Each structure stands twice: as structure tokens, then as C-alpha cells.
Amino acid sequence: MINLYESILQHPNYYRQFNCNNSLITVFSCPVEARLMKNKFSSLWSQYNYLFYVVEGRKIWHTTEGSYDINTGDCIFVKKGAFVLEQFFDVGFCLVLFFITDDFICQTLGKKFTFPVKQTGIRQVIALKASETLAGFFISMASYFSETKEPGQLLLELKFKELILTIADNTGNGELLSYFCSLLNEPVKVALERIMNENYCYNLKIEQFAALSNRSISAFKRDFEAIFKTTPGKWLLEKRLLHAQALLYNHSKKAISDISFDSGFESLAHFSRSFKQRFGLSPSIGRNKELGDS
């Protein structure tokens, strides 16, 4: 899978970048040719949360919980993790984009910030409540891109803090505020379980799951085995196989190759071999048997 954050860092000619402490970046893009992914559908992931305001254009974020059609004027927060991006090649996509780490959010808000009642089932893609204050913030950011001089680090850090505090001050952003609350207060065990359950059906590597959970690979494996009582590799294979089995039975017309991809397997051959080892039948025979029994 393509790392969205690192891909943008590698293309400074297409994206005006302002770095803050090597973990936060602001990007502005417009031209049709300024496109990191050349395919209609691209599998992406980011180890950082990100927020963007769409100046012009349209793209669709496909996640495990549903699809989100993002258009001109939308202001969106996306939780760190994986997704599939659907592109439209007839127009450019112009946006102001902020990558924001968990630590920066927590440091900005602190333990004293008051949140609304915590919500459950927080989505990966969250639309922000429009306000004159938020619109004014993005207008103020646009001026930095028109200047040749790069803003100082202290000023950039203050702008990132202003963005987070502006969002947090609007009670209409209840779902996002609940996510911020979870970052501040969620137990380590629950946080790791949430990250794994939200992203297991994408073809992410162990080191990428470790990055999502803000851990080294060794710490991730140690904590994972303490929580799940098995290795990450075994857990991921079982979760992906059960997910694929459910897709086979519930989506009888969906191609097996698509089910393999949607379940996080790196190849159809690997999926077919693993499925037969686990269930004693090939995916195609297993599907036909289930349909015949129903």
C-alpha cells in the first residue's frame, strides 16, 4: 500500500510544503498533472491523522464502514489508517491539507479540555461543521502559499494549534471531539484493539500496524501478544479469512479476486491456499456449498 504522507513528502515540486517538527505538513495542490496515483483506485494509508479543505475537485474515500464522496467546499478529518481512494481524472484536485499526529492533538488540548458525551462507532472519515471561524482560518492559510518566504516554525506550530482549537471549540463537531477524547483517555489496550479491528482487512504489513499504534516493531509485537494471546500474523490471517468467508456467502456475485483484495490478501493465490487450509474447501467450492445449503 502507498503511504500517503511519505508520497507527498517525496514530491515537493507538485506540493508546496511547510514542515513543522518533521511530523506535520501543509500541502496545497491544484494542477491535473500533480497526481501521486495514476490509477482510478489506489490503496493508501497514513500513520498520521489528516484534515483537509477542498478548494476544488472531487474524490471518493472508500473505507471498511462505507464510501465518502468528497467535493468542493468540504472540510474533512480522516483518522489515521488505510483506505481506497477513487479519483476522477477530468479535473484537478485542489486542497489545503494538514497531517496531525496524535501527540500534537493531545499536547494542544491537554487534560483540562471539556468534551461532550463520548460517542461510539466513530467513523474514519468525519465531515466538520462549517463555521465562519473555520472558513476564516483556511483563508488566512491561503496567503502563506502565495508568499515566497516560508513561515517560521513557531508560527506554523501556532497555526496548527489554532486549527485544532477552532475545531474543538465547535460543539457541532461532536463525533470528532469524541475521537479527540479517545486519544486523550483511551487505555493502551483498547487503542491497539481499535486500530487492528479498523484496519485488518487492508494489506498492511506488521511494521505499518506498529506505526499506526505509535510503537516500534518489537514493542508492537510484545503488546499485541499480551492483549490478543497470539502473534500478529496469526491473528491477521484468521480475521482476514473470516472476513473473506462472510463476503463469499453474503455477496454471491462478487468476484473471488475482489474478495481476496477486500480482505487484505496480497495475492489471489495466497488467499486461495490459506482459505483451503483453514476451511478444507477452495473459495469457489465453499461459496457453492454455502449457496446450495441455503
* Residues 58, 49: Cα–Cα separation, whole Å: 20
Domain positions in the chain are 2-185, 189-294
* Residues 126, 226: Cα–Cα separation, whole Å: 32
Check residue 111 and give its pLDDT: 66
Strand-pair category, 2-3 with 41-46:
parallel
* Residues 267, 20: Cα–Cα separation, whole Å: 38
* Residues 204, 198: Cα–Cα separation, whole Å: 12
Check residue 23 and give its pLDDT: 64
Residues 290 and 263 sit within 8 Å (Cβ to Cβ) = no
Residues 76 and 130 sit within 8 Å (Cβ to Cβ) = no
* Residues 40, 85: Cα–Cα separation, whole Å: 8
Between the two ends of the chain, the Cα-to-Cα distance in Å is 37
* Residues 37, 55: Cα–Cα separation, whole Å: 19
Q: What is the pLDDT along the chain (294 residues), one digit of tens a residue?
A: 899 988 888 777 667 788 777 667 777 666 555 555 677 888 999 999 999 998 888 899 999 889 999 999 899 999 999 999 998 877 777 888 899 999 999 999 986 666 665 666 789 999 999 888 988 888 888 788 877 788 888 888 899 999 999 999 898 998 999 999 888 888 888 899 999 999 999 999 999 999 999 999 999 999 999 999 999 999 999 999 999 999 988 866 789 999 999 999 989 999 999 999 999 988 888 677 654 454
Q: pTM value?
A: 0.88
**Among 57, 58, 74, CA closest to 129:** 74
Chosen CATH of 2-185 out of 1.20.1560.10, 2.60.120.280, 1.10.10.10, 2.120.10.70: 2.60.120.280
Check residue 152 and give its pLDDT: 85
Check residue 89 and give its pLDDT: 77
* Residues 202, 214: Cα–Cα separation, whole Å: 18
The neighbour count for residue 170, using CB atoms within 10 Å, is 16
Residue 265: Cβ-neighbour burial (10 angstroms; 0-12, 13-18, 19+): buried
Residue 242 CA: distances (Å) to CA of 85, 206, 218, 247: 25, 19, 27, 9
- CATH code of the domain occupying 189-294: 1.10.10.60
In this structure, what DSSP letter does residue 33 have? T
**Among 125, 86, 82, 124, CA closest to 264:** 82
